[in-house]
Amino acid sequence: MKLRLLVVGRLRQTGFQSAAAEYLRRIEAYFPFELVEIRDGKLKDKEANLAKEAQDVLDQVRPSDQLILLDNRGNQWDSPGLAKWLEVHESESLVFAIGSSYGFAQAVRTRANHFWSLSQLTFPHELARVIVLEQLYRAATIRSGHPYHHG
């Protein structure tokens, strides 16, 4: 299984940078993983930002990729459920994407194969990135029988 995480915007706070780097290091012990940062649009117009970000996201997705958008209207999994979902899709190239504060343009939503909601709560994008990385790591440890998850 190969996983990629596309994120619009970069981490600015050192605490989030450290946490993300640690989980990225841990994930790579279980499977190939790539994190791609996409520059967030700095345009004043929301629609122009969404269009620019959409094109940049779609440029990173191959036709054979399964695109999973982080979206508050998506499916919610517990950690073992995510591990099982990854197992079912392990032969596929999975691309997870976290949008900007504007979310995703309709073109990206149309291309998406799946939608994943972390919670009914709203998180800052920097924290969402760390949560996604931690949950992907946790799912990998569940699949391998590592005792990290005590669930």
Band of residue 36 on the pLDDT scale cut at 50, 70, 90: very high
The verdict on residue 150 lying in a domain is no
Of 10, 98, 6, 105, whose CA–CA distance to 49 is shortest?
105
Q: 79: domain CATH number? A: 3.40.1280.10
The verdict on residue 151 lying in a domain is no
The verdict on residue 149 lying in a domain is no
The verdict on residue 30 lying in a domain is yes
Cα–Cα distance list, 126 to 1, 37, 114, 129, 130 (Å): 25, 12, 21, 5, 7
Give the pLDDT of residue 151.
Answer: 67
Residue partners of 63: CB distance under 8 A and separation at least 6: none
The verdict on residue 113 lying in a domain is yes
Positions of E strands within 11-126: 33-38, 66-75, 93-98, 114-116
Give the count of domains, the chain.
Answer: 1
Per the structure, the complete domain to which residue 76 belongs is given by: 2-144
Give the pLDDT of residue 144.
Answer: 94
Q: What is the pLDDT of residues 45-99, one digit of tens each?
A: 889 889 999 999 999 999 999 999 999 899 999 999 999 999 999 999 999 999 9
* Consecutive H or E run containing 107: helix 106-111
Of 68, 11, 18, 67, whose CA–CA distance to 37 is shortest?
11
The verdict on residue 33 lying in a domain is yes
